Amino acid sequence: MEIAIMLEGQNGLNWPRWKAIVRLVEELGFVGLYRSDHFTNGSPPDKDSLELWVSLTWLADNTHRIEFGQLVSPFSFRHPVFTARMAAAVDDLSGGRLTLGVGAGWQEREHHLFDFQLLDKKGRFRRFEEGLEVVTRLLRSDAPAEFEGEFYALRGATLLPRPLRPGGPPLLIGGNGETRTLPLTARYADEWNAVFLPPEEFRRLNIRLDALLAAQGRDPSDVRRSMMTGCLFAIHEADLGAKLAGRGRTFDEVRQRGVIAGTGPQVQEQLSRLEQAGVQRVMLQWLDLDDLSGLEALAKAVL
């Protein structure tokens, strides 16, 4: 199983922190680095939040190995034409290392503060599905794209230059929903990214996705299976106790939520269980953006 790092961009991310973490993740040997796409947190206090596409453009031109992407970008922030256009350009700049993660949007506070239309859940997913149509038609076909929807339209549109990778960067859909998310993943995505699941629940949804892919005439191997989850790593047991106390939860409680928690051997055991459940790549959420020594210790423990 491949191991990557995930950052919450709204949790104080700025240029000094981003550059330091990017360089360290590349140096340590993690397979990739991913980040959220938010303007701010769901509740105060507001913190630094480096703009997503600008940050990924810098990463693309200042690294050589790591894969990267967003978990995930909502179409409520940007028109899908811009999302597709920027994704193709950043992927080309990196030499083909971007994964384009997209979602419907969910965080009410930032949409209210910055006057983005979140819509109700049904409307949100209607818009999301149309956004997926726009992105895939523009990236995956060289022919002029035609589409007429409730929210978006394409009238003989073509993105130029064409992506260097045939079909553009792989498309990732994130979420655990069986009613909407998994069916859309089976229709459109190259990667499914589950969120905070224990191994047993991941295995159940993974089997469900296989069935949905078969119904679409697709092979299970067409879609990579990944998961983003929390990480409470500590070198010593005493440090782990302090981190758990800070969250107000016990070790068993955080593990039941799918969080990877513990010292090196405990983390290795939990990662092994995820791999057995079908996870091909895990994105470990690293919340302390200044704890670079902890990130180094994690790499030594699990890579």
| pLDDT value at residue 138 | 98
Read off the pLDDT band of 248 (50, 70, 90).
confident
| pLDDT value at residue 239 | 84
Cα angle vertex 296, ends 291, 299, to 5°? Answer: 130
Q: Round to whole Å and give the CA distance between 82 and 181.
A: 22
| pLDDT value at residue 285 | 97
Q: Round to whole Å and give the CA distance between 192 and 184.
A: 10
Determine the average pLDDT of the residues in 28-35: 98
Q: Round to whole Å and give the CA distance between 99 and 89.
A: 12
Q: Over 90: is that where the pLDDT of 169 sits?
A: yes
| pLDDT value at residue 236 | 86
| pLDDT value at residue 26 | 98
| pLDDT value at residue 250 | 85
Beta strands in the chain, from DSSP E residues, in sequence order: 2-7, 32-35, 67-70, 73-74, 98-103, 145-148, 153-157, 171-174, 191-195, 224-233, 260-262, 281-285
Determine the average pLDDT of the residues in 131-136: 98
Q: Over 90: is that where the pLDDT of 192 sits?
A: yes
- Classified as helix, coil or strand, 32 is strand
Determine the average pLDDT of the residues in 32-36: 98
Topology of the domain covering 14-225+274-291:
TIM Barrel (3.20.20)
| pLDDT value at residue 196 | 96
More confident residue, 190 or 240: 190
Read off the pLDDT band of 246 (50, 70, 90).
confident
Report the relative pairing of strands 191-195 and 171-174 from DSSP bridges.
parallel
CA distance between the termini of the chain: 10
Non-local (6+) Cβ contacts of 276 within 8 A are 199
DSSP state of 13: B
Read off the pLDDT band of 243 (50, 70, 90).
confident
Give per-residue pLDDT as tens, 79-131.
Answer: 999 999 999 999 999 999 999 999 999 999 999 999 999 999 999 999 999 99
Write down the domain spans for the chain: 14-225+274-291
- Classified as helix, coil or strand, 226 is strand
Q: Round to whole Å and give the CA distance between 34 and 257.
A: 21
Q: Over 90: is that where the pLDDT of 242 sits?
A: no
Q: Round to whole Å and give the CA distance between 91 and 70.
A: 13
Q: Round to whole Å and give the CA distance between 227 and 112.
A: 29
Q: How far apart, in Å, are the Cα atoms of 241 and each of 57, 235, 300?
A: 38, 11, 21
Give per-residue pLDDT as tens, 94-106.
Answer: 999 999 999 999 9
Determine the average pLDDT of the residues in 253-276: 93
More confident residue, 206 or 241: 206
| Percentage, residues of the chain above pLDDT 70 | 100
| pLDDT value at residue 23 | 98
Give per-residue pLDDT as tens, 4-17.
Answer: 999 999 999 999 99
Non-local (6+) Cβ contacts of 84 within 8 A are 134, 135, 138, 139, 159, 168
List for the chain the helix, strand, coil content (%; round to 5): 45, 20, 35
For residue 154 the two structure tokens come to: 């394409």
Q: Over 90: is that where the pLDDT of 73 sits?
A: yes
Look over the chain and give the mean of its residue pLDDT values, rounded to a whole number.
96
Contact (Cβ atoms closer than 8 angstroms) between residue 173 and residue 189: yes
